[in-house]
Structure 1
Amino acid sequence: MDTETVADVVTEVVLPGVVEPSGLEIRVRPAPQPAAGEVVLGLEASGVSFAEQQMRRGKYYDQPAFPFVPGYDMVGVVLRVGAGVDTALIGRRYAALTKVGGWAGQVALPVDGLVEVPGELDAADAETVVVNGITAWQMLHRIARVRTGQTVLVHGANGGVGSTLVQLATHAGIRVIGTASPRHHDAVRALGATPLDYRAADLPARVRELAPDGVDAVFDHVGGDGIVDSFRLLKRGGTLVSYGTAATKNDTGSSRLPVLKLIGRLFLWKLLPNGRRTHFYNIWAGKRRSDTFHDRLRTDLGRVFALLADGTITPQVAARIPLSRAAEALRLAESGTVTGKVILVPDPAQNTSDAR
């Protein structure tokens, strides 16, 4: 690839403070240069997840100080490499967890955190299962260790993580009950789950009708008081995996308090002599042990990519929206009207590379 064709300035989306989606700012800056051990990825796709929705409210647990560029994960082509990095990587497509920074035309990242994307996969399709796929796979297979023939309850089964989790579970021969708004029930049913209205006052009773002895695992991104029902719906030996506090997203006050209260509650339940397990899932757990963290990242996302490539699971792309219209993308993701993940893609005139 002729690196002279790579843009020397890039567009990025900046979150300047606690703002409505319309308050996002589009800025242009010089293209990043990779340090030793880094590459520069040219953006092909970046997702709009619940993390960014919380960040714009100043409510994400460990977000950086404003202003910053959001973007929890991305897929892109290697444009430049730093010292010590094989130049053969240039022109190849990789996925990466970024936590922040992904909503930009080019991003400098450590090479050891990259996961190669199979060549036959579309970038936006692959992006739907980066953070969502890692989260779903690890919660299902590493944390809850659900087995074929068991039954699980997935809250938000139409969402990015939920829709991926449903597909991974059904592929493994696991029965899935999925909560969602009634307008999403057909989509949830098509993924292989039995849908229930998450707003139904008798939701626990309806779950019990389908699983009289309780479920083997509950995957709950909601938190709040509803976490009590999630725990009570477990059968003996079952596992509650909590991975968010969506119920408190509009609460004022500390961004950390709802998470800490939730973790405290889960810890106390873990001490009860009832055979039930609880776990608060954090995708970044083990990051200090970088070798183990990155090995698991590559292994787990590689498995999900393989299932996506062979058609076992279907990418749930809610919309593809140009980077310069990030405000529109964020509003759509927050609307609750879509199934799957809203994806940001480069603007038509923004050529980050000629590699693909």
Structure 2
Amino acid sequence: MSINATTTALEIVLPGQVEPEGLLITHRELPAPGRGQALVRVEASGVSFAEQQMRRGKYYDQPAYPFVPGYDLVGTVEAVGPEVEAGLVGTRVAALTKIGGWSSHVLLDAADLVAVPAGLDPADAETFVVNGITAWQMLHRIARVRAGQTVLVHGANGGVGSTLVQLARLAGARVIGTASARNAERVRALGAEPVDYRGDIVAQVRALAPAGVDAVFDHVGGPGIVDSFGLLAAGGTLVAYGTAATKDDAGNSRLPVLLLVGRLLLWNALPNRRRTHFYNIWAGKRRLAKFRSQLAEDLSAVLDLAARGQLTAQVGARFPLSQAAQALATAESHSVTGKVVLVADGR
């Protein structure tokens, strides 16, 4: 494609705090890629917990309405701007976007694109973008889990949780995973020992790991974070990365996160031989070059494992982009297991 051409993009717009059916389908002319940019034809974009919270106006770093949702994407480069290698055209890539992914085409900085290995289905690859980066960095960069250790993964059948389970098993760790009773076999198939989250989690985990666990990965927050910390063995690490327990609470959406971070900092100040960390995928962006380098390195590692068949994508449902309202409603209904993915219309 000529770099002087414009492109008409179909976009899904979230106009405000509306129900899923309130999403708008619009069209917008995108200019030719500018300096350092690439035009990407989007083949798959995820429907994650972040978009669900953004719809409610409760995401921690809430974008101003109206905006195009879409936290991550996989697509093919169709054109590049000046100072971008021409050979990038035709390459399938992945990108972490936070917003903007629910579109047929997007303009992105070429430096933010990560090549997707040949042979990976776009929807399968999409499930490993934000989920894969999150799981890999928490497991390897923060908790530094080693072979022979035991870890506890809350929500082991979820998007991040199922990826964490698989990566931890590949690292040689024993995994205990919380989930509902109906998902116990699915969690077991991933390689974890299931624990019913509706029961006494502490008693169940203690029965499996009497001395405690070496790491806990907790997206729930709320009062249960105390139990997560208490289940750590000496030298263990608690990694919190969400506050799902308070998702429907009224009031300031930032307060639960701030309270959780404060509690973690307090625990770190105690002489208890256990570490805590709040994981935010965007925390390192102030040092942009390092952020991009680590993101590309970590996502490439995850996608390579998927391409070799060592990771299994958990796709719950696929919807055409133009049916984003139905896709969001399905994701929020919890009626499917696995990630809901938007794919290009006609695929």
**Secondary structure of the residue that 1:251 maps to in structure 2?**
coil
Structure 1 residue aligned with 2:267:
269
Whether the 8 Å contact between 2:78 and 2:89 is mirrored in structure 1 is yes
Deviation of 1:18 after TM superposition, in Å, equals: 1.1
**CA drift at 1:31:** 3.1
Q: Distance in 2 between matches of 1:220 and 1:249?
A: 14
Q: Distance in 2 between matches of 1:161 and 1:295?
A: 21
Deviations 1:254-292 (A, max 9, x none): 111111111111110111111010000011121121111
Tell me the residue number matched to 1:182: 181
Write the letter of the residue equivalent to 1:170: R
How many Å apart are 1:32 and its aligned residue?
4.2
2:323 corresponding residue in structure 1: 325
SS at match of 2:285: coil
Q: Distance in 1 between matches of 2:128 and 2:169?
A: 16
CA contact (8 A) 2:10 2:25 kept: yes
SS in 1 for 2:299: helix
| Bigger Cα displacement from structure 2, 32-41 vs 273-282 | 32-41
Closer/same/farther in 2, CA of residues 321 and 32 from structure 1, 3 Å limit = farther
Structure 2 CA distance, aligned partners of 1:7 and 1:82?
12
Match of 1:352 in 2: none
Superposed counterparts of 1:56-135, under 5 Å:
56-135=55-134
Q: How far 1:339 moved relative to its partner?
A: 2.5
- Higher RCO (Cα < 8 Å, 6 or more apart): 1
Task: State how 1:192-207 maps to structure 2 within 5 Å.
Answer: 192-200=191-199, 202-207=200-205
- Aligned-partner Cα distance in 2 for 1:180–1:329: 23
**Superposition map of 1:1-356 within 5 A:** 8-200=7-199, 202-348=200-346
The size of the alignment, in residue pairs, is 346
Separation in 2 of the partners of 1:336 and 1:279?
Answer: 28
Which residue is equivalent to 1:353? none
Secondary structure of 2:177's match? strand
Q: Aligned AA for 1:143?
A: I
> Does the C-alpha gap of structure 1 residues 236 and 323 become closer, same or farther in structure 2, counting only changes over 3 Å?
same
Looking at structure 1, the residues matched to 64 and 101 of structure 2 have their Cα atoms a distance apart, in angstroms, of 16
How far has the Cα of 1:87 moved from its partner?
1.6
Deviation of the 1:199 alpha carbon: 1.4
Distance 2:119 2:174 in 1: 30
312 and 82 in structure 1: CA distance in 2 versus 1, 3 angstrom threshold: same
2-structure distance, mates of 1:3, 1:184: 50
CA contact (8 A) 1:32 1:106 kept: no
The offset of 1:30, in angstroms, is 1.4
Provide closer, same or farther for how the CA distance between residues 53 and 32 of structure 1 changes in structure 2, counting only shifts above 3 A: farther
Q: Secondary structure at the match of 2:163?
A: helix
The question of whether the paired residues in 2 share the 8 Å contact of 1:219 and 1:242 is answered with yes
TM-score by length of 2: 0.97
Task: For 2:28 and 2:153, locate their aligned partners in 1 and report how far apart those are by CA, in whole Å.
Answer: 42
Cα distance 1:231–1:32, how it changes in 2: closer, same or farther (>3 A)?
farther
1:41 Cα deviation (Å)?
Answer: 0.7
Q: Residues of 2 paired with 1:33 and 1:248: CA distance?
A: 43
Deviations 1:315-344 (A, max 9, x none): 111111111111111122122233221110
Q: Is the contact between residue 37 and residue 107 of structure 2 (CA under 8 Å) also seen in structure 1?
A: yes
Amino acid across the alignment from 2:287 = R
Distance in 1 separating the partners of 2:222 and 2:88:
45
CA distance in 2, matches of 1:184, 1:128: 19
Give the whole-Å Cα distance in 2 for the aligned partners of 1:32 and 1:212: 60
TM-score, structure 1 length as denominator?
0.95
Gaps of 5+ in 2: none
CA distance in 2, matches of 1:33, 1:158: 41
Task: Say whether the 8 Å CA contact 1:160–1:339 is kept in structure 2.
Answer: no
Task: Please say if residues 73 and 99 of structure 1, whose CA atoms lie closer than 8 Å, have aligned partners that are also in contact.
Answer: yes
In structure 1, stretches of 5+ residues that fail to align are 350-356
Give 4+ residue runs of structure 1 displaced > 3 Å after superposition.
none
Residue 37 of structure 1 aligns to which amino acid in structure 2? G
Q: Residue type matched to 1:338 in 2?
A: V
CA RMSD of aligned residues (A): 1.4
Deviation at 1:3, TM superposition (A): 5.6
Q: Deviations over 1:132-191 (max 9, x none)?
A: 000000000110011101111101111110000000011111111111111111111100
Separation in 2, partners of 1:32, 1:339 = 38
Q: Is the 8 A contact 1:153 1:176 kept in 2?
A: yes
Counterparts of 2:66 and 2:256, CA distance in 1: 24
Letter paired with 2:275: R
C-alpha distance in 2, partners of 1:175/1:32?
50
Q: 1:84 Cα shift?
A: 1.1
In 2, Cα distance between equivalents of 1:334 and 1:157: 18
Match for 2:156: what amino acid? A
* Letter aligned with residue 17 of structure 1: G
How far apart in 1 are the matches of 2:329 and 2:237? Answer: 34
**In the aligned structure 2, how far is the partner of 1:118 from the partner of 1:318?**
22
Q: Is the CA contact (8 Å cut-off) linking 1:3 and 1:79 kept in structure 2?
A: no
